[in-house]
Amino acid sequence: MRELRAVVSEHHTAVHTLTSALLGGHPTSTMARECGIEISDRYRVIALAIPSHPDESNPILDAQVVARRKLRRVQAELATRCDDTVLSLLSIDGGTLLIPADHITEVALEELIAHLSQAARVPITAAVVTAPTDTVPTAADQAHQLLDMVTRLRSVPGLYHFDDLALEYQLTRPGPARDCVGSLLDPLDEHPELLETLQIHIAHNLNRQRTARLLHVHTNTVDYRLKRIGQLTGFDPTQASGLWHLRSALVARTYRR
């Protein structure tokens, strides 16, 4: 058992070193041979956010033990579904996955994130960028920035692609334009309930019933608040043009402070 543990530990250490090297843009051919892993030409670089399990806040349980068990379930699910093709650096609250692009389709990747959520028993949010091996470090930065943006917007858990949110990503770049767009929501500063309503309404695909349920209010209250948002900002959230400006302002505003 000691020999087996030593071999497994040595392999895991080598894989982690290889993953770190890829993410750092360092040469990996020698380490790859030592690990017995073939380096792919392209990777799906995935940033993961794993929320706390409800039991982690249970005072009668050890939060660290619960968190470690959650992480082990995720790692076991990865090993089962991806074999040795996936490279990962994970902690109890998330991390980075590298999966050869030709080993998994986009549909299969969405299914994988769903299975990881089931294994963790919490809804996982992920962002993916597909890139050549030599640009993995840049892709990882983009994936984690995209994940940060999705988290700030309190979007529903799931898998997000960089291509689908390129406009929102661009709005988060520093500069006077971002500050100007973010200021469109300044009239709502004294009405936090309106800002919360707008954020939840957009995050849940403009579903009035779901917005009302999450806010614990009647749908008529949601309608009134949306109308009031339009009056205060000058942009009607029930119209396409107004909604575009409000969503853009919401994205920019989350990075202004």
119-153 pLDDT, tens digit each: 999 999 999 999 998 899 999 999 999 999 888 88
> Residue 70: helix, strand or coil by DSSP?
helix
151-195 pLDDT, tens digit each: 888 888 999 998 878 777 877 777 777 778 888 888 888 899 999
Query: Could you give the CA distance from residue 86 to residue 126 in angstroms, rounded to a whole number?
Result: 15
24-61 pLDDT, tens digit each: 887 666 666 666 677 888 999 999 999 999 998 888 98
What is the pTM assigned to this prediction? 0.75
If you search the block for the tokens 């917005």, which residue do you land on?
A: 211
Answer whether residue 67 shows pLDDT above 80: yes
Spatial contact of 244 and 176, defined as CB atoms under 8 Å apart: no
Return the amino acid letter for 23.
L
Type and span of the H or E element at 174: none
